[in-house]
């Protein structure tokens, strides 16, 4: 693992999920840019001191020198955004499989380069669009793939959070001090790069459709903020299929309110991350139906993604564990269903989305191809 040391919640989430999945064991890493902190963390986790490395280069050098059955096989990159790309290039080049946090890179060019390298090296690259690991998201994908909705007529995705509220209404230093608000570390966008891209990914994952063009209106919300903290993106799939992505980090009181609604001529589907075990199907002629995990009416992949009997809610770690599980299958060369884990191609799509959104806004809210 690269990053994810003391105080980093996303690194902890990866570790918990990989332990649930039970196909991975953490054997070493570079847990913090500060070597002392990294070592403290390694000790706490029971990692031998010699496998707590000072740098990624040191890790590569030492691990590749070990015998095949001892060395680290897959690396999880959970650092701030700007470091994803250089570490990924170095690790892939050295032959490691990768699990990488999103957004995958800082630019579209980097993303494309990464995609090429993954193809060339024939390695597994999993991007943690965690929400695609929820059973009911997978069930949604399956229902849509079967054509149950008829012609899709509208798509609406939302990702509302409120946690940046307290930062921008705090002291000046908070606005400049948080890495997510600094273009150098966060990239071209805060809100769209961090969460809008999840909504984008969820649309493409569940529907199998590609967003062709976007027109965006972004909002830094407060003087002095350099990146978007809020925005709306009009999206087009084809001449008569349009939709919208709405995302915000300043919706005070919203927690992690990611939702998707796909409306078709015959039926429609709605899902929300905060109650992930419910998938609602609407139709004009029948009662609304609520799909839940662990039922025979679900698709195979959805069923395999929930391990408890019905009525026992599983949550976000189990979703991430499902991504890890698919990744493990791929690494071991086992058969897996497309959709079991997000690949480097999803990362490229995401980067294209973020950059098109930023460009549209800069151009005065004009349509831009994705």
* String marking each residue 49-88 x if it binds a copy of itself according to CB under 8 A: ----------------------------------------
Site for a copy of itself contains 166 (CB under 8 A): yes
Phi-psi region of 344 (alpha: psi -120 to 50; beta: other; left: phi over 0): alpha
Task: Give the residues across from 259 on adjacent strands.
Answer: 158, 272
Question: Whole-number minimum distance, CB 122 to a copy of itself, in Å?
Answer: 27
Site for a copy of itself in 172-211 (CB under 8 A): none
Task: Give the residues across from 232 on adjacent strands.
Answer: 217, 246
* String marking each residue 312-331 x if it binds a copy of itself according to CB under 8 A: xxxxxxx-------------
Phi, psi for residue 73 in degrees, rounded to 5: -105, -35
Q: Give the one residue of 31, 53, 125, 291 binding a copy of itself; rule: CB under 8 A.
A: 291
Binding segment for a copy of itself among 54-62, 77-85, 349-357, 362-370 (CB under 8 A)? 362-370
- 311 versus 333: smaller Cβ distance to a copy of itself: 311
Alpha carbon distance 142, 281 (integer Å) = 13
Residues 6 or more apart whose Cβ sits within 8 Å of residue 159: 195, 196, 198, 199, 245, 246, 247, 248, 257, 258, 259
Q: Contact, 32 vs 4, CB < 8 A? A: no
Binding segment for a copy of itself among 65-73, 230-238, 323-331, 347-355 (CB under 8 A)? 230-238
Residues 6 or more apart whose Cβ sits within 8 Å of residue 55: 30
Site for a copy of itself contains 252 (CB under 8 A): yes
- ∠ Cα 309 315 319 (to 5°): 95
Q: Give the one residue of 4, 29, 187, 264 binding a copy of itself; rule: CB under 8 A.
A: 264
Smallest CA-to-CA distance from 216 within 234, 198, 190 is with 234
Site for a copy of itself contains 238 (CB under 8 A): no
* Count of residues touching a copy of itself (by CB under 8 A): 88
Question: Whole-number minimum distance, CB 265 to a copy of itself, in Å?
Answer: 5
Q: Give the one residue of 121, 292, 329, 345 binding a copy of itself; rule: CB under 8 A.
A: 292
């Amino acid at each position: 693992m690269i990053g994810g040391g003391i105080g980093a919640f996303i690194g902890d989430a990866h570790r918990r999920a990989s332990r649930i999945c039970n196909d991975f064991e953490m054997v070493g890493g570079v847990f913090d840019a500060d070597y002392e902190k990294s070592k403290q963390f390694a000790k706490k986790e029971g990692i031998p001191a010699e496998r707590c490395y000072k740098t990624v280069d040191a890790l590569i050098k030492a691990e590749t020198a070990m015998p095949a059955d001892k060395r680290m096989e897959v690396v999880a990159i959970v650092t701030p955004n700007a470091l994803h790309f250089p570490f990924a290039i170095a690790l892939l080049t050295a032959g490691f499989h990768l699990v990488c946090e999103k957004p995958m890179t800082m630019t579209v060019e980097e993303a494309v380069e990464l995609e090429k390298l993954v193809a060339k090296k024939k390695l597994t690259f999993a991007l943690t669009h965690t929400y695609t690991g929820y059973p009911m998201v997978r069930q949604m994908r399956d229902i849509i793939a079967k054509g149950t909705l008829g012609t899709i007529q509208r798509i609406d995705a939302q990702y509302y959070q409120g946690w940046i509220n307290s930062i921008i209404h705090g002291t000046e230093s908070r606005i400049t001090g948080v890495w997510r608000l600094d273009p150098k570390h966060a990239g071209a966008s805060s809100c769209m790069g961090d969460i809008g891209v999840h909504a984008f990914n969820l649309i493409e994952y569940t529907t199998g459709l590609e967003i062709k063009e976007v027109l965006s209106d972004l909002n830094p919300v407060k003087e002095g903020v350099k990146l978007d903290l809020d925005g709306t993106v009009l999206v087009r799939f084809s001449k008569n299929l349009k939709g919208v992505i709405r995302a915000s980090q300043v919706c005070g009181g919203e927690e992690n309110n990611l939702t998707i609604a796909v409306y078709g001529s015959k039926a429609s589907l709605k899902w929300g991350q905060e109650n992930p075990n419910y998938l609602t199907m609407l139709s004009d002629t029948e009662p609304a139906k609520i799909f839940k995990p662990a039922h025979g009416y679900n698709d195979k992949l959805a069923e395999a993604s929930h391990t408890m009997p019905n009525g026992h809610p599983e949550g976000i770690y189990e979703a991430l564990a499902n991504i890890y599980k698919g990744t493990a299958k791929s690494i071991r060369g086992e058969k897996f269903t497309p959709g079991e884990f997000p690949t480097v191609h999803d990362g490229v799509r995401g980067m294209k989305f973020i950059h098109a959104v930023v460009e549209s806004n800069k151009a005065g809210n004009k349509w831009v191809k994705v």
